[in-house]
Amino acid sequence: MQNLENLISQCGVQLYDVEVANENGRAIYRIYIAKPGGVNLDDCEKVSRILSPIFDVEPPLTGDYVLEVSSPGLERKLEKPSHFILSIGELAKISAEVDGENKKLKGKILSADDEEISFESEGQILKIKIANIKKAKTYIEW
């Protein structure tokens, strides 16, 4: 995975997540990439061009598969510290244990590191340990 991260970073983007899916009997190896300001089609194409020849020699899956490179989307799950770091400044819905209570919160991610996030919800700024977050997802207000 570290080599994959290094290769992808050469394209000016970060590895967000990897997923293996089976749709209509086809194996799909999905690579989600992210960068501040968002990912565009050129970013996806660059990553695909770098990885395709490598995967021809060292396939990530056995058997036939399709490689897909895309953005994780506007509304996406936040599971790893890197997901929160890449989402600083965005709106999120979070289910977490805060001060010994399970809470469902909506607000904005103000900062994040490998251990905790700073989250503004209903005028309060909360420090939430990532280990205490049960579920989190970005969202867009329309």
pTM beyond 0.85 = no
Secondary element (H or E) of residue 138: strand 133-138
* Mean pLDDT, each 10-residue run in order, the chain (142 residues): 85 93 91 88 96 92 93 91 91 93 95 96 95 95 84
- pLDDT of 11: 93
Q: Could you tell me which residues come within 8 angstroms of residue 109 by beta carbon, excluding any fewer than 6 positions away?
A: 84, 87, 88, 89, 90, 91, 92, 117, 118, 119
- pLDDT of 36: 78
Residue 69 is encoded by which pair of tokens?
Answer: 């490179």
DSSP conformational letter for 11: T
For tokens 């251990």, the residue is 115
Q: Could you tell me which residues come within 8 angstroms of residue 78 by beta carbon, excluding any fewer than 6 positions away?
A: 84, 87, 92, 133, 136, 137, 138
Residues 110 and 92: beta-carbon distance below 8 Å: no
The full set of domains in the chain, from first to last, is 3-70 (3.30.300.70), 76-138 (2.30.30.180)
- pLDDT of 25: 85
- pLDDT of 43: 96
- pLDDT of 1: 57
The whole-angstrom separation of Cα 122 and Cα 107 is 7
What is the torsion angle, in degrees rounded to the nearest 10, for the CA atoms of residue 6, residue 12, residue 18 and residue 24? -130
